Amino acid sequence: MRKAVITIEVLISMLILFLVVATSVTALKHSFLVELKKDKYQSYYYIFFNIKSSIESEICQSKQYLEGRIDDFVFSATCYRKKRLLSYVKSLEPDEPYGNIGPVQYTLYEIKINLRKGLYDEVYTYYKTIAEQIR
């Protein structure tokens, strides 16, 4: 009877050891895959901000559409005007309750950047506000 108990204990210990090793291998494999994806998308992230900073001065002011190539990525950027508002200065005078329109005009633009490289084709959207003096 004593040998049977020891055999069952050894089998249970081996099962627990197998589960620990299998779980550890699976966790390591998963962390390796996550690291690969992180490196891949980190390069796309850097390219996006590289393109954004290079077109920032031209887009929406002198051109509405830009396209080009940076580091094997083909990109196209399009600018859409979403809204235009004049600044409003509230009146401090009691006889002028409504105030007046200020000398600044704010324009909200939506900028879409399409990045392509091989099978990767993604559209990124961000918004930009430009303030212009009107007087």
pLDDT at 71: 82
Report how far residue 99's alpha carbon sits from residue 92's, in angstroms, rounded to the nearest whole number.
8
Specify burial of residue 44 (Cβ count, 10 A radius: 0-12, 13-18, 19+).
middle
Which of 22-31, 51-60, 86-95, 124-133 ranks highest by mean pLDDT? 22-31
| Distances 34 to 38, 47, 98 between C-alpha atoms, Å | 6, 20, 58
Q: Six-digit token pair at 85?
A: 């508002």
SS3 for 49? helix
Residue 96's H or E segment, with its range, is none
Mean pLDDT of 48-68: 83
Domain that holds residue 118: 2-133
Domain count, the chain: 1
- pTM above 0.75? no
